[in-house]
Amino acid sequence: MKLSIGIVGLPNVGKSTLFNALLKKQVANVANYPFCTIEPNVGIIEVPDERLPVLAKIVNTTKIVPAVVEFYDIAGLVKGASTGAGLGNKFLSHIREVSAIVHVVRLFEDGNVVHVSEKINPQDDLQTIETELNLADLETLSKQREPKGDAASKEARSAWEVFIKVKENLNKGIPVRSQTISDEEKEVLKPLNLLSSKPVIYVFNVSESQLQNKEETEKKIEEILKQVKNDKKGFIYLCAKMEAEIVAFNNEEQKEYLKQFDLEESGLNRLIKKAYETLGLISFLTAGTLEARAWTIPKGTLAPQAAGTIHTDFEKGFIKADIIPYEKFIASSGWTKAREQGLVAIVGRDYEMKDGEVVEFKVNT
């Protein structure tokens, strides 16, 4: 499945620097002035997965295909974006296309990097973006027409009631994702592609000294999110400048460098994991002589639908699947011994896939 994430925030908070770190090469035009990014830069980023090289060695293949994420570096939003300020309408349209939003919030102080409002105020910055997304959604909802007359269907009247309810909450400053909305109501809203309905991961861009003062930095972030009434679970913090610098290091050098900040992995890895967690995604694995590969699916996906991510015909022709947890597959050195030891489960159409399972699908083509 396609996983796309838009990186948003005010100008000069470190969005393009973060994008470059993710992409592991300078693609975005990083400049010290607002709106240097006019079209969204798009990068296909490999999802780090230490399991794949191990699988490849066992099945004797040199081809490794990791899962991927599309990151969109979207130009900086400003106050008034919902009414077109700072080319806002164009940028907001780019956000509509993504699965989730990475909202970069500036915590670092740097006199050489101007702030669009000439002061560092994370609470105001965060609320500015949130408000603009809410206002854009109100504009979308205002374009919906109330069904009138006897010809109006029950479904149309029901949908209108949902629109009114959502508008009332948006006017109170409550984004769609924080509203109490039933599954049926979500289906009604789906065609509108409301911006504030998208899951958000807050990425606080800190300095290296803030990165070292872990306890103080986390306390500050939690206080900021508390003040703006946001869920503190949906955040990470990193130093985008440092992330962009260490991409030139090999894995061992990165690990050694990160130790001084009491970090076990890079911001990239943590962001990818947070994205998966936020969107409720998992990966299953396939391993054969052709390739070792990771496939992304939502939690709760049944075996036939998982097979369909490989090829649509596989879902239609699904018969059964051989499944084994990654750890057991490695311990038994592959399919042959795993089957001899009775470690491989044969599952049918009602089986719910789990993260990290190695799978062979049996299909009728």
pLDDT of residue 121: 83
List the beta strands (DSSP E) in 180-280.
200-205, 235-238
> Chunked in runs of 10, what are the mean pLDDT values of the chain (365 residues)?
81 83 54 41 81 95 87 67 48 78 86 57 86 89 86 86 95 92 93 92 93 91 81 79 88 89 88 85 93 94 96 95 97 96 97 97 90
* Rounded-to-5 percentages of helix, strand, coil across the chain: 45, 20, 35
> What per-residue confidence (pLDDT) applies to 363?
95
Q: Which residues contact 66 (CB under 8 A, 6 or more apart)?
A: 46, 47, 48, 49, 52, 293, 294
The span from the CA of 300 to the CA of 305, in Å, is 10
Reported as a single tens digit per residue, the pLDDT across 141-150 is 999 988 887 7
Residue 344: name the closest of 327, 362, 323 by CA: 323
> Which tokens belong to 205?
């861009």
Cα–Cα dist 99/96, whole Å:
8
- Residue 109 tokens read as 């102080």
- Tokens at 179, concatenated: 């509203």
Output the pLDDT for position 30: 38
Q: What is the pLDDT of residue 258?
A: 92
> Which candidate, 73, 74, 76, places its Cα nearest to that of 33?
76
Which residues 6+ apart lie within 8 Å of 132 measured at CB? 77, 79, 80, 81, 82, 88, 92
Tokens representing residue 75 in the block: 């130009």
Alpha-carbon span 33 to 116, nearest angstrom: 8
**How many residues does this entry show for the chain?**
365
DSSP track, 90-141:
HHHHHHTT-SEEEEEEE----TTS--TTSS--HHHHHHHHHHHHHHHHHHHH
What pLDDT does residue 79 have? 57
Token pair of 355 as six digits: 């993260």
How many Å apart are CA 199 and CA 107, to the nearest integer?
22
pLDDT of residue 69: 81
